[in-house]
Amino acid sequence: MALIVHKYGGTSMGSVERIRNVARRVATWRAAGHRMVVVPSAMAGETNRLIALAREIQPQPDPRELDMICATGEQVSVGLLAMALKSIGVDAVSYSGWQVPVRTDSAYTKARIVTIDDARVRADLDAGRVVVIAGFQGVDELGNITTLGRGGSDTSAVAIAAALDAEECLIYTDVDGVYTTDPRIVPEARRLDRVTFEEMLEMASLGSKVLQIRAVEFAGKYRVKTRVLSSLTPPDIPVEIEAKSGTLITFEEDTEMEKAVISGIAFNRDESKITITRVPDRPGIASQILGAIADANIDVDMIIQNQSIEGTTDFSFTVQTNDLQRAIEVLNARVRESIGAREIIGDPKIAKVSVVGIGMRSHVGVASLMFRTLAEEGINIQMISTSEIKISVVIEDKYLELAVRALHKAFGLDRPAAGAG
Amino acid sequence: MALIVHKYGGTSMGSVERIRNVARRVATWRAAGHRMVVVPSAMAGETNRLIALAREIQPQPDPRELDMICATGEQVSVGLLAMALKSIGVDAVSYSGWQVPVRTDSAYTKARIVTIDDARVRADLDAGRVVVIAGFQGVDELGNITTLGRGGSDTSAVAIAAALDAEECLIYTDVDGVYTTDPRIVPEARRLDRVTFEEMLEMASLGSKVLQIRAVEFAGKYRVKTRVLSSLTPPDIPVEIEAKSGTLITFEEDTEMEKAVISGIAFNRDESKITITRVPDRPGIASQILGAIADANIDVDMIIQNQSIEGTTDFSFTVQTNDLQRAIEVLNARVRESIGAREIIGDPKIAKVSVVGIGMRSHVGVASLMFRTLAEEGINIQMISTSEIKISVVIEDKYLELAVRALHKAFGLDRPAAGAG
């Protein structure tokens, strides 16, 4: 009689037949004796349709009104799923975000959850109902509808699981878990049975798009056991089998896990490098450069400043490739002359490769193995950045697949981890 | 600086371009100095799309979940309209029913409005904003979303106008007002400048589908000045001209109006007649017959019991034609034998024609002119039913157009009413 939260994405909710399948899967878990809360996304394509409609009216849509419009996608989903459950004899009730309520701040289109009231949901669970709650949305303290940003339903599900102190939050997706790296590049990539939330955080932010990064942060903050698993298995698969499938995001650094120094190789092709050459090496220069970029609402990822040579230095950083042109324009217009730099060079032909692993903390030599492996393949490293549990390098993009395959093998990820479940 | 409520139907909200036109029209009124509240319906076709989706999941959709789903149509509309207003420089804010809140009872899919809180809307109006409120929907005291039934946005608009004590509620439609009868049948039909709400009530219930009947009831109960007018005029038409167009539903029986005895000829082809012959003429028979019909959830309109002949009587009533077959089955199964009637005869080939007019109260001779007119055209009257301000007859359906034309002429409706206008 555990309390379980299921989350289903837009693809799982993409048609009447698929919604029926979701209902059958939830019914299987209900029949196994669990108290069930389900958080579905909008039907696939619906949110994009609504945004397109809004943009036709107003190219830069008013954020409050955009949230008003976009929240309807999930509202339709919860109604349909509750009906699908009832039609197979499972008592169910649907709630939109404000009905729970899921309280957020007022940052329309990217609101953050503040509190979730569990009273109404608990009363329904006590009455034996499956509770279907709209993901992606909430309500601010003035009663305005808010949304959490794209992929926000993951965050909703984890936050609801935290508020209800659920046993586990199951995120159903079209992949069957988290892999050591992208199997399209490395066929030997293995699914991880477990991954720590810190590792997941690094992998999510590095482009493994299995789970929204804020959902991972929530899982970490509130220690919600969260499992990523496939929605493509039969809906009547026995619960005791399904409960062990996919990848579990954990908080214990158990002994087995420590044996694997590195959990995965993440990568990102969507960044570009900007280098400003011959920047005078004096205080305040970095903030002048990055201040101009921030003012233009451009996100920066890696930042490197080289050793000063004869009073000037080269300053490099990476941005999303679709911000590259604009970033260069901003720098030329607002920064280059005033700081007396020589040149601004944009390079979209780069890729970022990262090795991630909680075990790195207690193991020396990860960096040297990584650099040696790349050197042996003749791959030049352009930038390096490190954190406690990851090392990222920027290389020429044509070497990306080669680098990922070489590192995957060098760190032994193609072999089952000893003792790992 | 009057407070004005505008209501726009699904056709007016049917495309991005049309929504822009609605915004322009509201902006024209705003620029003329009025405080504006706007109640739009869902975009044309949207509610039907949502109902079809729900029926695919559950052929008899759960009413609560159906309302959850259908309420999204108007929620999208208000967001889009508020954006369209902002995009032309008119400050605006949208609200769904629960945000106002529009409180209703819990009769899902056909809820009735109980109270409307005006505090939030007034604050926005005071701040100079146009307030866009979702029609068709509300919230019950437990916080469940409800809808008012098809055409419910008319009722929302009138109820909101009543709650805000608005100067006038303008219902924009694809016709330009209420006519003396259907111009497709009588080309000489004239638009009425004014009609009393009692007349409107009779005409609405008799099939003039300009305005939802519950909206008319609300207008009558709270004495809301309501105007039906065209949404097809240019959106920048001067307010002083538009404010006098269409048909105003009034409460004063002013002197001009009394000169017109009859305001209009209404008709309905969608009813069928059921006659039960040789019914024993004893107490309780009528309730036995109509009780069985009511149990089957079939609505009855006219009811006639003939003079008793030799202890038996013929009993006739009308039902919606699409209920005819089921009504006959119910009567044969449950009533005929037990009351000892001879035969049950269904006749779909009938039509109902009604003359409606508040002036009828103080004028004798309306009935005799009506019956004489029909007799002169050789039209046999099968049933007669009267109320204070209308007389309805059932005739063979093939005579419908002839009867409407003859009555329209006989009551002088093709001539402009003296002094009216």
Identify whether the C-beta of residue B100 lies closer than 8 Å to the C-beta of residue B131. no
Interchain CB distance below 8 Å, A69 and B76: yes
d(CA B112, CA A283) in angstroms, rounded, equals: 69
A239 and A120, same domain (yes or no): yes
Model pLDDT, residue A304: 84
d(CA A417, CA A120) in angstroms, rounded, equals: 44
Please report residues of A whose CB lies closer than 8 A to that of B61: 83
Which DSSP category does A165 fall into? T
Residue B85 distance to chain A (closest CA, Å): 9
Among B206, B237, B252, which residue terminates a domain? B252
Flag whether pLDDT at B156 surpasses 70: yes
A146 and A21, same domain (yes or no): yes
- Report the first-to-last Cα separation within chain A, whole angstroms: 25
Flag whether pLDDT at B207 surpasses 60: no
β-partners of residue A143 are: none
d(CA B45, CA B77) in angstroms, rounded, equals: 12
B294 and B235, same domain (yes or no): no
d(CA B9, CA B83) in angstroms, rounded, equals: 18
B309 and B372, same domain (yes or no): yes
Flag whether pLDDT at B258 surpasses 70: no
A262 and A117, same domain (yes or no): no
Model pLDDT, residue B245: 95
Strand, coil or helix: what is B318? strand
Instruction: Count A/B contacts: CB-CB distance under 8 Å.
Output: 104
B60 and B159, same domain (yes or no): yes
Q: Which helix (H) or strand (E) holds B352?
A: strand B350-356
Nearest to A359 by CA among A234, A241, A225, A194: A194
Half-sphere exposure of residue A311: CA atoms within 13 angstroms, side-chain side: 1
B300 and B208, same domain (yes or no): no
Flag whether pLDDT at B132 surpasses 70: yes
Q: How many domains does chain A have?
A: 2
B200 and B119, same domain (yes or no): yes
Give percent of chain B with pLDDT exceeding 70.
95
Strand, coil or helix: what is B282? coil
ipTM of model: 0.83
A137: left (phi over 0), alpha (psi -120 to 50) or beta: beta
Residues in CB range of B234: below 8 A, 6 or more apart:
none
CA A29 to chain centroid: 26
Domain that residue A359 falls in = 254-415
Which segment of A177-181, A227-231, B181-185, B253-257 scores lowest on mean pLDDT?
Answer: B253-257
pLDDT tier, B341 (very low <50, low <70, confident <90, very high otherwise): confident
Model pLDDT, residue B326: 94
- And the tokens for A403? 């680098």
Among B229, B252, B275, which residue terminates a domain? B252
Interchain CB distance below 8 Å, B69 and A62: no
**Own/partner long-range contacts of B344-347 (Cβ < 8 Å, ≥24 apart):** B344/B274, B344/B275, B344/B276, B344/B277, B345/B274, B345/B275, B345/B276, B345/B277, B346/B272, B346/B273, B346/B274, B347/B272, B347/B273, B347/B274, B347/B275
Residue B86 distance to chain A (closest CA, Å): 8
Please report residues of A whose CB lies closer than 8 A to that of B56: 16
CATH code for position A287: 3.30.2130.10
B174 and B232, same domain (yes or no): yes
Flag whether pLDDT at B420 surpasses 80: no
A169 and A265, same domain (yes or no): no
Residue A214 distance to chain B (closest CA, Å): 27
d(CA A390, CA A407) in angstroms, rounded, equals: 13
A216 and A342, same domain (yes or no): no
Per-residue pLDDT of chain A (421 residues; tens, 9 = 90+): 799 999 999 999 999 999 999 999 999 999 999 999 999 999 999 999 999 999 999 999 999 999 999 999 999 999 999 999 999 999 999 999 999 999 999 999 999 999 999 999 999 999 999 999 999 999 999 999 999 987 799 999 999 999 999 999 999 998 889 999 988 899 999 999 999 888 888 887 665 667 888 898 889 999 999 999 999 999 999 999 999 999 999 886 554 554 568 889 999 999 999 999 888 888 788 888 989 998 888 888 888 877 777 778 888 999 999 999 999 999 999 888 888 888 999 999 999 999 999 888 777 788 889 999 999 999 999 998 888 888 999 999 999 999 999 999 999 998 875 434 3
B191 and B74, same domain (yes or no): yes
Q: What is the mean pLDDT of residues B126-145?
A: 97
User: Cis bond leading into A40, ω under 30°?
Assistant: no
Who has greater pLDDT, B379 or A388? B379
Mean per-residue pLDDT over chain B, rounded: 91
Please report residues of A whose CB lies closer than 8 A to that of B20: 57
Q: Show the CA angle centred on residue B341, arms to residues B338 and B342, nearest 5°.
A: 135
